[in-house]
């Protein structure tokens, strides 16, 4: 990662154009924007946090993560998360079957939360990121407004993907169930665990600023 010093904070400027400035999201220090080379980062002088970066060199990595996320997500939805063996009987539960059982038991709020925060929002985030990054390379400029809409919902939904919270819940259940029966982790559980770092990396590596600039330039 390249380190690129930012200009001095400009608190004495009188004619402010908001697009010329950027604030550090960690300490609120204000900087004038400087052009960055692909792969370069702008580091805050006050707190050392990454204020912004030029995402051109990173979007191939983000695209690979988004596609990997989609594959893992397909595994998470297709295979059991856990199987519980009591005697000769084995009961398996998947994301879909757990949601249906919650609905049948009348836990509508829990079922809706699971569908939205564990299934729908993460899936749409991975699909949207793939569409935007691949679309910028493949679609003609006149078709790109749809990418702007897609990028807007990706950035809106991204913070609401809560696969990690669900996995923590599964581990809490595992500890309790292990005392009563034999619990067999399924392929979906491993896929969900792998999705946590991929979601985090997608969130931190996707440069919205670079994508917006490329969409505006189209
Ligand atoms: Zn800072």
- Segment 161-210, tens digit of pLDDT: 888 888 998 888 888 888 888 888 999 999 999 999 998 888 877 877 77
Interval between CA 12 and ligand 1 midpoint (Å): 19
Residue 20: pLDDT band (50, 70, 90) is confident
pLDDT top residue among 141 and 154: 154
Interval between CA 111 and ligand 1 midpoint (Å): 40
Q: Please indicate, yes or no, whether residues 6 and 38 belong to a single structural domain of this protein.
A: yes
Residue-level pLDDT at 190: 94
For residue 50, the cross-strand partners are 43
Q: Please indicate, yes or no, whether residues 112 and 45 belong to a single structural domain of this protein.
A: no
Q: Which long-range contacts does 3-9 make (Cβ < 8 Å, 24+ apart)? A: 3/40, 3/41, 3/43, 4/34, 4/36, 4/37, 4/40, 4/41, 4/42, 4/43, 5/42, 5/43, 5/45, 6/31, 6/32, 6/34, 6/42, 6/43, 6/44, 6/45, 6/51, 7/31, 7/32, 7/34
Question: Per-residue pLDDT averaged across 17-23, rounded?
Answer: 77
pLDDT top residue among 205 and 16: 205
Q: Please indicate, yes or no, whether residues 89 and 35 belong to a single structural domain of this protein.
A: no
Q: Which of these three, 32, 53, 74, is where a domain ends?
A: 53
Run of H or E including 31: strand 30-32
Is the pLDDT score of 5 beyond 60?
no
Q: What is the dihedral of CA 202, 148, 41, 21, to 10 degrees?
A: -130
Residue-range definition of the domain harbouring residue 118: 57-217
Q: Please indicate, yes or no, whether residues 171 and 102 belong to a single structural domain of this protein.
A: yes
Q: How many CB atoms lie within 10 A of CB 197?
A: 11
Q: Please indicate, yes or no, whether residues 42 and 116 belong to a single structural domain of this protein.
A: no
Interval between CA 46 and ligand 1 midpoint (Å): 5
Q: Please indicate, yes or no, whether residues 34 and 134 belong to a single structural domain of this protein.
A: no
Q: Please indicate, yes or no, whether residues 39 and 69 belong to a single structural domain of this protein.
A: no
Interval between CA 50 and ligand 1 midpoint (Å): 8
- Segment 62-106, tens digit of pLDDT: 889 999 999 999 999 999 999 888 888 888 889 999 999 999 999
Q: Are 155 and 132 in contact (CB under 8 A)?
A: no
Residue-level pLDDT at 15: 59
Q: What is the mean pLDDT of the chain?
A: 84
Interval between CA 98 and ligand 1 midpoint (Å): 43
Q: Please indicate, yes or no, whether residues 15 and 83 belong to a single structural domain of this protein.
A: no
Report yes or no on whether pTM surpasses 0.85: no
Interval between CA 92 and ligand 1 midpoint (Å): 48
Question: How many domains is the chain partitioned into structurally?
Answer: 2
Structural tokens at position 163: 């696969």
Is the pLDDT score of 7 beyond 70?
no
Interval between CA 53 and ligand 1 midpoint (Å): 14
Q: Please indicate, yes or no, whether residues 76 and 147 belong to a single structural domain of this protein.
A: yes
Residue-level pLDDT at 194: 94
Is the pLDDT score of 14 beyond 70?
no
Is the pLDDT score of 109 beyond 90?
yes
Which residues have CB less than 5 Å away from ligand 1 (the ion)?
Answer: 24, 26-27, 29, 44, 46-47, 49
Interval between CA 40 and ligand 1 midpoint (Å): 17
Residue-level pLDDT at 218: 60
Q: Are 69 and 126 in contact (CB under 8 A)?
A: yes
Q: Please indicate, yes or no, whether residues 97 and 194 belong to a single structural domain of this protein.
A: yes
């Amino acid at each position: 990662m390249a380190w690129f010093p930012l200009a001095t904070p400009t608190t004495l400027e009188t004619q402010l154009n908001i697009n010329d400035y950027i604030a550090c999201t960690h300490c609120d220090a204000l900087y004038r924007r400087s052009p960055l080379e692909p792969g370069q980062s702008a580091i805050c002088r006050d707190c050392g946090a990454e204020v912004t970066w030029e995402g051109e060199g990173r979007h191939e990595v983000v695209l690979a993560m988004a596609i990997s996320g989609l594959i893992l997500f397909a595994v998470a939805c297709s295979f059991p998360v856990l199987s519980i063996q009591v005697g000769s009987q084995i009961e398996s539960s998947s994301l879909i079957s757990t949601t249906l059982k919650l609905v049948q038991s009348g836990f509508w709020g829990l079922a809706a939360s699971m569908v939205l925060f564990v299934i729908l929002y993460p899936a749409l985030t991975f699909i949207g990121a793939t569409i935007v990054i691949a679309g910028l390379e493949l679609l003609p400029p006149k078709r790109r407004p749809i990418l702007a809409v897609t990028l807007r919902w990706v950035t809106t939904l991204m913070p609401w993907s809560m696969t990690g919270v669900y996995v923590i819940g599964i581990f809490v259940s595992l500890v309790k169930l292990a005392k009563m029966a034999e619990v067999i982790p399924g392929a979906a559980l491993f896929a969900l665990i792998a999705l946590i770092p991929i979601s985090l990396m997608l969130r931190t590596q996707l440069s919205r600023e670079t994508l917006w600039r490329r969409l505006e330039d189209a």
